[in-house]
Amino acid sequence: MDEFTPTEDFMSPGLPVDEANTTGRRSLGDPEEVPELSEVDCPDGLREAIEASMARYPDHKSASIPALWAVQRLYGWCTPEGIRQAAAVMKVTPAYLESVASFYDLFRLEPAGESQVLVCTNISCWMRGGDELLDAFCEAAGADRGEAGHGGALSDDGKVLVSGFECLGACDLAPMASVNERYFGPLEAADAKTVIEQLRAGEEVLPDKALAARPLPGGDDESDDGRVTSLKGPNR
Amino acid sequence: VSIVETRVLLRHAGDPNLKTIDGYRSYGGYGTLENVYGEVEPDTIVNELEESGLRGRGGAGFSMGKKVSFLPHGNQTKYLCCNADESEPGAFKDRELMQRNPHQLIEGIIIASYAAGIEHAFIFIRGEYDRQADILDAAVAEAYEAGYLGKNILGFGHDLELTVHRGAGAYICGEETALLDALEGKRGNPRLKPPFPAVQGLYGGPTLINNVETLSNVSHIVANGAEWFKSFGTEQSPGTKVVSISGRVKRPGNYEVELGVKLRDLIYGLAGGPLDGHEVKAFYPGGSSSPVLTPAELDLPYSFEAMAEANSMLGSGSIIVADDSISIPHMALRTARFYRHESCGKCTPCREGTNWTVKMLERVVRGEATPMDLDIIASVQQNIIGNCLCVLGDSMAMPVSAMVNKFRDEFEEVIATAALTGLPTSDGYESREDGADPVPAGVELEVIRRERLMGRPIPQSAQQAAEELPSV
């Protein structure tokens, strides 16, 4: 008698074959292949930026975060097509880059408007009205407060993303917000309306509340041995 | 209260020109580096750093010199990573150091790399610090141009590449092994230790990882010697420390002081004390991961050893002050929510522990908990501590257990008040699902006492809150 060999019918009689379960150790390869550069219409500027990043690291995969930044800067968010383009340049699968992008809070996997307002609601800001500041930004922008607290919400005109955020590292400005990657604070609820209006009009945002304009709290005066004796600075 | 700042790292920091290489040089910057090359043996620098007793300023407080000495000698490729992923709630000192004096950091990195035989260094800066990263980029470019970075530095045969790497928003990347994964272009999950990074780190090579402030100290120690450095601070915590003070104080900000100054001097002296009409109720002495302390502990010296003795930690040197307007259970919830959000999900005690702690604390502030739940919360924290892959789980468990232990009365009062009034006791949180109607007094008080407080008396303030509500 012939040696018994299991057939697909024997393993799943009458049912469609589920390759992933039935083919044992046979590798199915990556579910999605690395796209060819010729298949994706990658703009030259993006390709050059990513290649320059890859050259700065001993292992080119280290450029995945810089590459995603480049995609986000170009398209406003990490679009599926942008991720495919970056993947083609880096010679990795789009799934790999997407897995990286989904880990980090600053990468947006959905449209994110033209401007982004991140309002810190962590401990120090919360103590000084961070939640209320987020309320005020949502009201001024016409953004959904519930969504804004869970990853971000777009304003009614779709131009401004308002998002509650974990500690931004500026507790001295509490309550504060990061507007298009620049820090402002301490803010009052009324400032929210001003910021949204300034963003919509394309004006400079709150110049006198920028972190860049802030002196050291202990003052800039010092004696020759580096011991500060004067205590000047913003007293709130 | 009289206290002065002792500025070493923040010296001349008020000068906006300090950012540029010319400004930095006008105060003697890069002088140490120029003296070191060809004059000082790498081992001498390592010894000097070890002798100085400089402890890591990022949180763990491990001896920097020892860390360098752990790196293997020899010709294999080694790396240095400067940890600039400052994301601990309450910490903002590295931001100040980088935006005001980037070259001080770069000089420290170059000297440390020379001492350890490293030819490629990275600064991993958190993605939110965009302006600071721009400043660093500009400073690094200047340093390359001046010949302090690149091939054959100052003609002495040492090569060093320095790459500024921007993260993209994940607290966990401040954990050293997660930082390495993120730098390798992966999701920032922590690795199992050992092997420690000094043995097998970035790209599998021995890696030295230090905080911004630690590396900023290097050029000063090498220039002035270990004895000079030890003349500041205490025996076990030598040097100065940039302390970030925030929360409910009059003058929040960064202050550089000698380690060992009194907490009271920091909070009441430099930071101006609590806002008018308020009193200090509790404070985190070392960022949101540190167990909270109470006003009774204000006279302790601010040093690694004194904070450890008080069952807390100095951590990254970030004090967050809560005054009497702050509800501790809500602060515990806010803290726990942060760690739940930032847990990478790789190990179970942290992923599940942070999630359940948040859920239980939400029940507390909604008035759906019983005092027994507080015991469960405390026990969950004990099961997190020491059982996680990295310290993120512990970072939530330690402050939350300290709050439950030290402010248990307040937790019980919040439970009772919320249960009696059917309303959240502080804004910002959802009210009970079954509607916000105040319950009729009398009968309900008994029910509350029996069911939620397990027979204990209802706190006075909770009764008052219930009586002030309109009757139905």
Determine which of B120, B159, B186, B325 to mutate to test the interface with A (most A C-beta atoms within 10 Å).
Answer: B186
B338/A211 touch (CB, cutoff 8 Å), yes or no: no
Distance from CA of A153 to the nearest CA of B (A): 18
Averaged pLDDT, B307-333: 96
Per-residue model confidence (pLDDT) at position B439: 43
B11/A122 touch (CB, cutoff 8 Å), yes or no: no
Cβ contacts of A212 within 8 Å, gap of 6 or more? A182, B131
Question: For residue B86, which phi and psi values (nearest 5 degrees)?
Answer: -50, 100
Query: ∠ at Cα B307 (B303, B309), nearest 5°?
Result: 120
A11 touches chain B (CB under 8 A): no
Strands B161-166 and B120-125: parallel
Q: Summarize pLDDT for A82-137 with one digit per residue, the tens.
A: 999 999 999 999 999 999 999 999 999 999 999 999 999 999 999 999 999 999 99
Q: Measured between CB atoms, which of A62, A228, A236 is closest to B184?
A: A62
Comparing C-alpha atoms, which of B402, B403, B394 is closest to residue B354?
Answer: B394
A236/B320 touch (CB, cutoff 8 Å), yes or no: no
How many angstroms separate the CA atoms of B275 and B281, rounded? 12
Q: Is the pLDDT of residue B189 over 90?
A: yes
Q: Nearest residue on chain B to A124, judged by CA atoms?
A: B247
Tokens representing A100 are: 């990286």
Q: Nearest residue on chain A to B266, judged by CA atoms?
A: A218
Cβ contacts of B324 within 8 Å, gap of 6 or more? B278, B279, B281
Q: Nearest residue on chain A to B78, judged by CA atoms?
A: A58
How many angstroms separate the CA atoms of B238 and B229, rounded? 7
Span of A42-46, A209-213, A223-227, B20-24 with lowest mean pLDDT: A223-227
A168/B90 touch (CB, cutoff 8 Å), yes or no: no
Per-residue model confidence (pLDDT) at position A33: 86
Tokens representing A16 are: 């469609």
Q: Summarize pLDDT for A160-185 with one digit per residue, the tens.
A: 999 999 999 999 999 999 999 999 99
Tokens 């930082």, residue located: B179
From chain B, the residues in CB contact with A215 under 8 A are 14
Q: Is the pLDDT of residue A197 over 80?
A: yes
A26 touches chain B (CB under 8 A): no
Determine which of A127, A179, A223 to mutate to test the interface with B (most B C-beta atoms within 10 Å).
Answer: A127
Q: Nearest residue on chain B to A105, judged by CA atoms?
A: B169
B131/A174 touch (CB, cutoff 8 Å), yes or no: no
From chain B, the residues in CB contact with A56 under 8 A are 163
Cis peptide leading into residue B301 (ω within 30°): no
Q: Measured between CB atoms, which of B131, B168, B322 is closest to A107?
A: B168
How many angstroms separate the CA atoms of B396 and B389, rounded? 14
Q: What is the average pLDDT score of chain B?
A: 91
Tokens 């907490």, residue located: B263
How many angstroms separate the CA atoms of B34 and B212, rounded? 21
B253/A217 touch (CB, cutoff 8 Å), yes or no: yes
Which DSSP category does B311 fall into? T
From chain A, the residues in CB contact with B169 under 8 A are 104-107
B170/A169 touch (CB, cutoff 8 Å), yes or no: no
Averaged pLDDT, B145-165: 96
Q: How far is CA A169 from CA A28, A121, B65, in A?
A: 45, 11, 28
Is residue B394 within 8 A of residue B386, CB to CB? The reply is yes
Distance from CA of B442 to the nearest CA of A (A): 35
Range B14-35 burial, b when 16+ CB lie within 10 A, else e: beeebbbbebbeeeebbebbee
Tokens representing A29 are: 């390869």
Count chain A–chain B contacts defined by CB atoms under 8 A: 192
H/E/C letters for each residue in A70-101?
Answer: HHHHHHCCCCHHHHHHHHHHHCCCHHHHHHHH
From chain A, the residues in CB contact with B84 under 8 A are none
**Region of residue A204 (phi > 0: left; psi between -120 and 50: alpha; otherwise: beta):** beta
pLDDT: which is higher, A30 or B281: B281
Averaged pLDDT, A3-10: 53
Cβ contacts of B312 within 8 Å, gap of 6 or more? B285, B286, B290, B291, B292, B293, B402
A234/B86 touch (CB, cutoff 8 Å), yes or no: no
Per-residue model confidence (pLDDT) at position A139: 97
How many angstroms separate the CA atoms of A65 and B181, rounded? 11
From chain A, the residues in CB contact with B95 under 8 A are 169-170
How many angstroms separate the CA atoms of B288 and B286, rounded? 7
B10/A233 touch (CB, cutoff 8 Å), yes or no: no
Q: How far is CA B357 from CA B172, B313, B336, B348, B400, in A?
A: 19, 22, 7, 13, 9
Comparing C-alpha atoms, which of B323, B404, B325 is closest to residue B369?
Answer: B404
Q: What is the average pLDDT score of chain A?
A: 87
Q: Is the pLDDT of residue B29 over 80?
A: yes
Per-residue model confidence (pLDDT) at position B464: 75
Span of A61-65, A70-74, B319-323, B428-432 with lowest mean pLDDT: B428-432
How many angstroms separate the CA atoms of B432 and B91, rounded? 34
Cβ contacts of B309 within 8 Å, gap of 6 or more? none
Where in chain A does DSSP place strands (E)? 115-120, 153-154, 160-165, 177-179, 182-184, 227-228
Per-residue model confidence (pLDDT) at position B460: 76
Question: For residue B129, which phi and psi values (nearest 5 degrees)?
Answer: -85, 65
Q: Nearest residue on chain B to A230, judged by CA atoms?
A: B4
Cβ contacts of A29 within 8 Å, gap of 6 or more? none
Comparing C-alpha atoms, which of B320, B359, B368 is closest to residue B337?
Answer: B359
B251/A228 touch (CB, cutoff 8 Å), yes or no: no
B130/A100 touch (CB, cutoff 8 Å), yes or no: no
Q: What is the rounded end-to-end Cα distance, in angstroms, of chain A?
A: 94
Helix or strand (DSSP H, E) at B231:
none
Q: What is the rounded end-to-end Cα distance, in angstroms, of chain B?
A: 53
B335/A105 touch (CB, cutoff 8 Å), yes or no: no
State percent of chain B over pLDDT 70: 90
From chain B, the residues in CB contact with A170 under 8 A are 92, 95
A233/B341 touch (CB, cutoff 8 Å), yes or no: no
Per-residue model confidence (pLDDT) at position B68: 94
Predicted-complex ipTM score: 0.90
Distance from CA of B175 to the nearest CA of A (A): 15
- Length of chain B measured in residues: 472
A171 touches chain B (CB under 8 A): yes
A211 touches chain B (CB under 8 A): yes
